[in-house]
Each structure stands twice: as structure tokens, then as C-alpha cells.
Amino acid sequence: MKAIVVTDQAAGTAGMKLVERPEPQAAINDVVVQVHASGFTWDELTWPPTWTDRLGRDRTPVIPGHELAGVVTALGYGTTGLSVGQRVFGLTDWYRDGTLAEYIAMEARNLAPLPGDVDFTVGASLPMPGLTAWQGLFEHGRLQAGQSVLAHGAAGVVGSMVTQLASEAGAYVIGTGRAAHRQAALDFGAQEFVDLETNALEDVGRVDLVFDVFGGDIAKRSASLIRAGGTLVTIAGPTEARPADGLAVDFVVVSDRAQLNEIVQRVRDGRLRTNIGKVSTLEGAVATLNATERRAGKTIVRVRP
């Protein structure tokens, strides 16, 4: 099968190559999926599990990409809950070969059925940002209607999901980003917008929940805005930022079939809009993922036309 592989961590996306690889076999509880569309997160080649297995051993050559939509072609021994021919979408294990390939073997539990009226390109764009926003807001942040949320990077891939899900849940959302993102953030449902390049974050006042995607200084300054009992949720890695009287949670998203069902249902009935940027073929993916211009939205590789 055709797949994109990386072998050189220092080279980043410039080291990507389209090559022939053996087709994967389904292990216990796995399925094999024929990939129709694959989602790539712009900085995933900097994540440690991209390069090692769970024991820290080098696992190159690695196939990147952690989101997909496609069709099940084989079941492993003991696999239940999915069937051959079923349309699916989901999020793959960080430590296994990924979705920039014609086929992938992955655990069935990391997939959910993709309804027939949802395009594969849309399906592949949902798992990472949708699940991350869902888990950050409702599991780690315990968001309640009427609370206020500071959604950093509100026009970005994760931030646009955070903004939409939080406002649907009845929260007051203050989005942040660059000046040029104001209208997009408001269109995603933010009631207010803070341009981090010129406005003072401190003018926001107190909030119940900060959803941080940046880490560093912005996370620290945001922590001081949190009301007693509120939460700083960050996806930017371990943080020293702590609210004075609240929780700080850094987490890594996990796949969840019930949550994927909730997310795709919202896309079908128009409550949730996905944020897709460039769409490329597998043949054009290396060039697309190495483009020099600014990237906005999720890059999707349409593996099968």
C-alpha cells in the first residue's frame, strides 16, 4: 500500500516521504480500515509518541496522522461492535502507525460509526478537535450552563470546537486569537473577542473556565483570571500555571465512541461546524504539509478520491 513515512525527527514534515509499505494485519480487538480521509495535526511530529513505542524504543519508520474516516475491511480475533463494510471515523493510538496510508490496523474501540450522510473529509476532521473540546469542557472543566469560558485560539482547529460546544451548552464565551480572527471567532459563537496582539487579557475580568491551547505566559496570565472554584484546562502540555483557588488540568485526548457519536450528530443537525483548511490527495500530501503559507483550519488528506 501507499503510505507517508517519517524517519528523521529533526527534519519534521520536510522528512516525509510517500513510499510502499506492507498492508497492516488486524491484531486482537483490531479492525483494518481502508482510509478514505486522514487528519493531520500541524505539530504532531514534535510529540514524543510519534517516534517511540510505549517502552521508549525507536519505532521509525513511522506513518503519521491520527484521525481518519474510512471503511472497515477486516476484523481481528475477538473484535466486536463493528462489521466489515461499515463506515467509521475515529482517533488512533499515539504509539502506532497512523492514518496517512491506504490502510490502517487499529483498535475497534477507537472508532465510531460514520453516518452515511457525513462525508469522509468531514469525518476525518472531527475526532481530535471534537473530542479534545468535549473532554476539556465537560469532563475536566465540568462546565455548567451560565458559566463563562475563555477560549484561547477560538478561530483555530480545537478552539473553534471549544467555542461552539461551550456556547451550545449555555456558557458565555470569550474567544481569543489574532486581530484577523475576530469575525471567525464571533461566527463560531463567541460573545466577545480578545485580540492577544493588542488587547490586554487582564481586561476580560473573571471567568469560570479557561481552555488553553498555548501554554507558557498566556496560560499563566489566564490562570489569574479564574474565579474561585474554576478550572484552567490546558492541552499544551504540563503547565506551572495555577489558579489561586481552583484546579489546573493538563490532559491528552482519548478516543471515545459515545462522544464521537454526540459530535457527529451535532454536525448532522447543524449545531457544529468543522474547521477544515486545505484538502489534499495522498500524492500531494507531502507538498501540502510543507507549504510555506499560513495554515488555517485542519489539513485533511483525501487518501481515496
Ligand X SMILES: NC(=O)c1ccc[n+]([C@@H]2O[C@H](COP(=O)([O-])OP(=O)(O)OC[C@H]3O[C@@H](n4cnc5c(N)ncnc54)[C@H](OP(=O)(O)O)[C@@H]3O)[C@@H](O)[C@H]2O)c1
The site for ligand X (CB under 6 A) is made up of 41, 43, 128, 132, 153, 155-159, 177-178, 181, 196, 213, 235, 252-253, 294, 296
Comparing every residue's Cβ against ligand X, the nearest one is 156
Q: In the complex, what is the shortest distance from the CB of residue 120 to ligand X, in angstroms, rounded to a whole number?
A: 20
| DSSP assignment letter at 82 | -
Closer by beta carbon to ligand X, 23 or else 195: 195
- Where is 133: in which H helix or E strand? helix 127-134
CB of 159 to ligand X, least distance (A): 6
Closest approach, Cβ 296 to ligand X, in A, equals 6
Q: What share of the chain is helix, strand, coil (3-state, %, to 5)?
A: 30, 30, 40
Select 36 or 181, whichever has its Cβ closest to ligand X: 181
CA 145-139-167 angle, 5° bins:
35
Minimum CB separation of residue 75 from ligand X in Å reads 28
- The amino acid sitting at 220 is K
Angle at 281 between CA 277 and CA 285, to 5 degrees: 75
In the complex, least distance from residue 189 CB atom to ligand X, rounded to whole angstroms: 15
Nearer to ligand X, 158 or 190 (CB): 158
* Residues making up the chain, counted from first to last: 305
In whole angstroms, give the CA distance from residue 67 to residue 263: 14
Are 211 and 152 in contact by the 8 Å Cβ rule? The answer is yes
Choice between 79 and 132, CB closer to ligand X: 132
Q: By C-beta, is 80 or 198 nearer to ligand X? A: 198
